Structure 1
Amino acid sequence: MILWFTVVQLVVAVAAGLLCLIMGFAGKRPNDWTVGSLALIELLLIVQAVLAIVSPFAGNPALGDPLEYGVYLVSAILLPIGGAIWALLERSRWSTVIMGVVALALAVMIWRMQVIWITPIGG
């Protein structure tokens, strides 16, 4: 993984999580801003998937367990989709809070993927 791209993903995920939590606890239902913030995270995760495929060929192979990294990446890609679907089906303030929790959980998963990528197996 590329460190600066990981930092960008983390900043976006934490900002989206805080936005959704604040709006949800303020009683706001899902809107373009909250669902759009999850869509932006999803777009960055898709770019991350492409980078994860291309990076080993460019001389930046994963040092950690590739299976563990892959499971994290696939799970992370599915989470914003599930959160957005939930928000669009339920349309309550609590769905906005759930989207915030999803975004913050994604921040943790993104950091964990970075650690897996740069830490050698058994290290």
Structure 2
Amino acid sequence: MLTALTFVLFAYSAVLTVWGLVLAIRNTAAGPWLLGATAGMLALLVVQLIVSIVLWGRSADTDPLLFFGYLLTAMLLVPLAGFWAFAELSRWGPAVVAAAGITVFVMIERMDQIWL
């Protein structure tokens, strides 16, 4: 994993989590900006997938099933949270996005530990 991309993913998922929490606390539904930010998180995870495939040979001790399992799970979780937030017109839509953001944050940390 590239260190710069890892920090970008950390920062983006943290901002997405805080944004979702603020909207949930304010009892506001997820708007197009939050849903677009969720799509941006998915785009960053796709970039991470491409970078991981390209750099795969550099890390001989990395378990591919474990690493790509975490990555693909994160890539599946983000659009599901976005669809749920789009369908749920109460405060729970942004809360689901916040939960997905913190989950992706933890998964990125775990993928970074596996990669080393």
Provide TM-score, normalisation by structure 1: 0.89
1:56 Cα offset (Å): 2.5
Identity score, percent: 30
Q: Give the counterpart letter for 1:35 in structure 2.
A: L
Question: What residue number does 1:17 align with?
Answer: 17
Indicate if the aligned counterparts of 1:62 and 1:116 stay in contact, CA closer than 8 A.
no
1:38 Cα offset (Å): 1.2
Question: What residue number does 2:101 align with?
Answer: 103
Segments of 5+ residues of structure 1 without an aligned counterpart are: 119-123
CA distance in 2, matches of 1:93, 1:62: 45
Q: Give the counterpart letter for 1:99 in structure 2.
A: V
Q: Deviations over 1:74-114 (max 9, x none)?
A: 10100111001111122211111111111111011011111
Q: Deviations over 1:20-74 (max 9, x none)?
A: 11111111101022112211110000000001111125xx235321110011011
CA distance in 2, matches of 1:87, 1:14: 17
The structure that has the greater radius of gyration is 1
Question: What residue number does 2:61 align with?
Answer: 63
Indicate if the aligned counterparts of 2:29 and 2:88 stay in contact, CA closer than 8 A.
no
- Deviating runs (4+, > 4 A) in structure 1? none
Indicate if the aligned counterparts of 1:64 and 1:117 stay in contact, CA closer than 8 A.
yes
Segments of 5+ residues of structure 2 without an aligned counterpart are: none
Provide TM-score, normalisation by structure 2: 0.94
